[in-house]
Chain A
Amino acid sequence: MLQYIGKRLLQLIPVLLGMTFIVFMIIRAIPGNPAQVILGQQASKEAVAALEAKLGLDQPWYTQYFEFLMNIFRGDLGESLRTRSPVADELWPYLAATIELAVFAMIIAVIIGVNAGIISAWFQNSWFDYTAMILALIGVSVPIFWLGLMGQWVFGIEMDLLPTTGREDVRNPVHAITGLYVIDTLIQGRFDQFGQVLRHLILPGIALATIPMAIIARMTRSSMLEVMRSDFVRTARSKGQKMFLVVYKHALKNAIIPVLTVIGLQMGILLGGAILTETIFGWPGIGRYIYDAIGFRDYPVVQSGILVVAFIFVMINLLVDVLYSVVDPRIKYD
């Protein structure tokens, strides 16, 4: 098993290398120059050239790329061109905000999606099944920005129930320790702030959960329908087992593997692709951070930021593969 994980990690190196190269080239292909952006449109050619030299941007691209790689291998994500502070320090609060939102959204998506899928399969062709599957169909097709804006309008503005932007009450800011506010407020015993943080999570969390929830529900349903026809389900019933346990113990464990795959992929997407939701809800996440860095042509931030997100994405998928073998004793990695 450990050997398998090691092998998988080694295989990741070329994938991540290729990705860094593509990002490196694309960001440089965008018109505009970091030195120019920093100094403003009025800056003289000489001043721009001097700054470029200082930032190392006058070097040929392969020298720059090589240096970037060498830094990465040393564990150094580089320095922001704009703020001159290390990307690693700057990046974490944003990443933490994204992780918190993504995990929250995924918990909602998994709890509701998996159960809706199970019950739909259990009572196939019932009104519950039809309703759930129609909602799931709507869920995968509704534009998230529309859903987000509607949520803000209905629950935030009309009913004034929930906050619509940010991740904390600005009049009562959270003192960050880990950067994950749910945890930070708890370890500080600030339950008032904990409630606030949760309230801020609800609207963006639900908006973000919608698509994965719908996909998980549909996948769970189809996987369960197949498993429920299995002989061993009939065996379990023939022992006198309660239908609830037949479904949630015998059938679910067999049906869960394709669902785990979907959860892993969707989690990766939530972590990397939540820019739209982060923008609508003013969520200070990694998507916004990278997006803003592109505007400033802040090459190191973009390069390292995307690398970190990609790394998390592949690690989640590796984790899912490892989980397969935990669930299914027939899957052995050697």
Chain B
Amino acid sequence: MVGKPKVLSVNGLRTSFFTDGGIVPAVDGISFDLYEGEILGIVGESGCGKSVTSLSIMGLVPSPPGKITGGEILYGGRDLTKLKEREMRKVRGNDIAMIFQEPMTSLNPLFTIGSQMTEALLIHTNLGKRKARRRAAEMLKLVGLPRVEEIMDEYPHQLSGGMRQRVMIAMALVCEPNILIADEPTTALDVTIQAQILKLMKKLNERLDTAVLLITHDLGVVAETCGRVIVMYAGQIVEEGPVTEIFRNPQHPYTEGLLKSVPDMRFKQERLEPIPGNVPRPGAIRHGCRFAARCPYRFDRCTAEDPELYGTQPGHFARCFLRDKKEETAHDETLVES
């Protein structure tokens, strides 16, 4: 991806929820760049802050109780966290669009597909109703839906889950956004449909040159679709790098654990090994590495200091003291025999 311009730059983003039970730092200082035309994956177990990250970019963190408390999200020379709601509305759906996990509930059951498809066009462009409808129909064809003209007059409940997710994708792309955030777009679908939708997203990414931020907890999806991947754990980025690199040579014990727990023929392991222990509640660990309690390579420094992201290869980083150059002489554990 080196050489391509950045379309989005997230720097030190913090998003917290101010609940009765205390402050929950769901996203705790994450930074990453998204380059033009790439598909960047974000993986991590449930509750690690993937959705909160994407909602923060969209300016849709439920508030109250949620609030962006720090950092910046740079898009087109502007910091989205500082935009007024009125300006942010112009970005949503037009520059940055989003599709959600649940195709069953993400469409409004009481409006026709046509009216929901044209909505963003009528907001962001000055196309008339007729032209917007034609444009929407073209988009529905592009995502591979049959009998488009009829579907435009149908309601969501008349479509299958896979069709609805195609509608969601078409709806998100209808204004040709620069960035598409897809928050677990295939989790709710069955396997064959999942593969179709991923292929479709990849095809559209190439065809329309839209940068995609693909959020998932499925490493298989990442392997098939993404160029680069970010691994999140408890509100932080623990590893970032090119997909091929990370799959071949994971640098963080958590990534290693994730890979071992994936049932995938390509990574020939004898049996699946789930990572022992549970994801800590956001904010539960204030000092040291958040993964330390579950880490097989834990040593003294892990609970005493906060690890940073250490570069291991160009473009590959891991938040683990084992990758700190200072440690290399003291310890010589290797994570993966490559």
Contacts and interface: CB of A to CB of B under 8 A. Distances in A.
Interface of A: 230-232, 234-243, 250, 253-254, 327-330
Interface stretch (B15-23, B90-98, B214-222): B90-98
Contacts of A250: 108, 111
Given A232-B107, A330-B155, A238 B58 contact: yes
Contacts of B110: 253-254, 327-329
Contacts of B93: 238-241
Contact of B123 (A230, A239, A329): A239
Given A231-B102, A234-B100, A329-B157, A241 B123 contact: yes
13 contacts: A235-B100, A236-B108, A236-B119, A239-B92, A239-B97, A239-B120, A239-B123, A239-B171, A240-B94, A241-B93, A242-B89, A243-B85, A253-B108
Nearest to A329: B155
Contacts of A242: 89
Contacts of B106: 231-232, 234-235
Interface residues of B, number: 29
Nearest to B90: A240
Given A234-B60, A239-B123, A242-B89, 19 more contacts: A231-B100, A232-B105, A232-B106, A232-B108, A237-B60, A238-B58, A238-B93, A238-B98, A238-B100, A238-B172, A239-B93, A239-B97, A240-B89, A240-B92, A240-B124, A241-B89, A241-B123, A250-B108, A330-B157
B109 interface: yes
Interface in B131-173: 155, 157, 168, 171-172
Contacts of A254: 108-110
A237 B100 contact: no
Contacts of A329: 109-110, 155, 157
Given A231-B100, A329-B157, A237 B108 contact: no
A239 B100 contact: no
A232 B115 CA distance: 14
A78 B171 CA distance: 63
A242 B124 CA distance: 11
A243 B59 CA distance: 13
Contacts of A241: 89, 93, 119, 123
Tell me which of A232, A234, A235, A327 has the highest count of chain B C-beta atoms within 10 A of its own C-beta.
Answer: A235
A236 B116 CA distance: 9
Nearest to B98: A238
Tell me which of A231, A253, A330 has the highest count of chain B C-beta atoms within 10 A of its own C-beta.
Answer: A231
B97 A238 contact: yes
Contacts of B108: 232, 235-236, 250, 253-254
A161 to B, nearest CB: 42
B109 A238 contact: no
The 8 tightest CB contacts between A and B, nearest first, are A239-B93, A240-B93, A240-B92, A231-B105, A239-B120, A232-B108, A231-B106, A329-B155
B90 to A, nearest CB: 6
A259 to B, nearest CB: 14
B18 to A, nearest CB: 13
